[in-house]
Amino acid sequence: MALLTLENISVAYDQQYILKDFNLSVEKGNLISLLGPSGCGKTTTLRLIAGFLEAKAGKFALNGKDYTRIPVSKRNFGFVFQSYALFPHLSIYDNVAFGLRLRKVSGAELDRRVRNILDTVSLSGFEKRYPKELSGGQRQRVAIARALVIEPELLLFDEPLSNLDANLRINMRVEIRRIQQELGITTVYVSHDQEECFSISDQVAIMNKGIIEQLGAPATIFKYPKTEFVARFIGFTNFIAFDTRHDDNELITLKVKDQMFTVTKHASKGEQPGMQGAIRPDDVVIGMPGEIEEGPNRLTGRVKVSTFLGRSYQYVVETMLGDITVNKEMEFSYPSGQEVRLLFPSEKLVLVE
Ligand SMILES: Nc1ncnc2c1ncn2[C@@H]1O[C@H](COP(=O)(O)OP(=O)(O)OP(=O)(O)O)[C@@H](O)[C@H]1O
Nearest protein CA to atom 30 of ligand 1, as residue:
39
Ligand 1: centre distance to CA 68 (Å): 20
Does residue 286 have a pLDDT over 90?
Answer: yes
Please report the ipTM that was assigned to this predicted complex: 0.94
Name the pairing type of β-strands 154-158 and 187-190: parallel
Looking at domain 228-352, its CATH architecture is Beta Barrel (2.40)
Q: Average of pLDDT values for 122-148?
A: 91
Residue 45 CA, closest ligand 1 atom number: 18
Name the pLDDT band for 222 (thresholds 50, 70, 90): very high
Taking only the tens place, the pLDDT of each residue in 3-59 is 899 999 999 888 888 998 899 999 999 999 999 999 999 999 999 999 998 888 899
**Centre of ligand 1 from the C-alpha of residue 44, in Å:** 6
Which range, of 104-113, 193-202, 262-271, 325-334, averages the lowest pLDDT?
262-271
pLDDT in tens, 144-179: 899 989 889 999 999 988 877 887 788 888 888 988
Is pLDDT above 70 for 270? Answer: no
Ligand 1 centre from 169 Cα, in Å? 24
pLDDT computed for residue 61 by the predictor: 92
Indicate the top mutation candidate among 33, 43, 211 to test ligand 1's pocket, ranked by most ligand atoms within 8 A of CB: 43
- Percentage with pLDDT > 70 across the chain: 98
Instruction: Give the residue, by CA position, lying nearest to ligand 1 atom 31.
Output: 39
pTM, entire model: 0.88
Report the chain's mean pLDDT, rounded to a whole number: 91
Tell the residue nearest (CA) to atom 26 of ligand 1: 38
Please tell me the distance between residue 219's alpha carbon and the centre of ligand 1 in angstroms.
28
What distance in Å separates the CA atoms of residue 53 and residue 241, rounded to the nearest whole number? Answer: 42
Q: What is the pLDDT of residue 30?
A: 95
DSSP 282-349: GGSEEE-TTTS-S-TTEEEEEEEEEEE-SSSEEEEEEETTEEEEEEE--SSPPPTT-EEEEE--TTT-
279/234 Cα distance (integer angstroms): 11
pLDDT above 80 for 68? yes
Q: Under DSSP, is residue 243 helix (H, G, I), strand (E, B) or coil? A: coil
pLDDT in tens, 73-125: 888 899 988 877 899 999 999 999 999 999 899 899 999 999 998 988 889 99
Protein residue closest via CA to atom 19 of ligand 1: 39
- Domain map of the chain by residue range? 4-223, 228-352
pLDDT at 1 over 70: no
Q: Which long-range contacts (CB under 8 A, 24 or more apart) does 23-27 make?
A: 23/212, 24/205, 24/212, 24/215, 26/2, 26/186, 26/188, 26/203, 27/2, 27/3, 27/186, 27/202, 27/203
At residue 16, the pLDDT reads 86
Quick one: pLDDT at residue 89? 96
Q: Answer yes or no: is pLDDT of 272 > 80.
A: no
CATH architecture, domain defined by 4-223: 3-Layer(aba) Sandwich (3.40)
4-223 and 228-352 in the same fold: no
Q: Separation of 42 CA from ligand 1 center, angstroms?
A: 8
Distance 330 CA to ligand 1 centre (A): 44
* Rounded (10°) angle between helices 107-120 and 92-102: 130
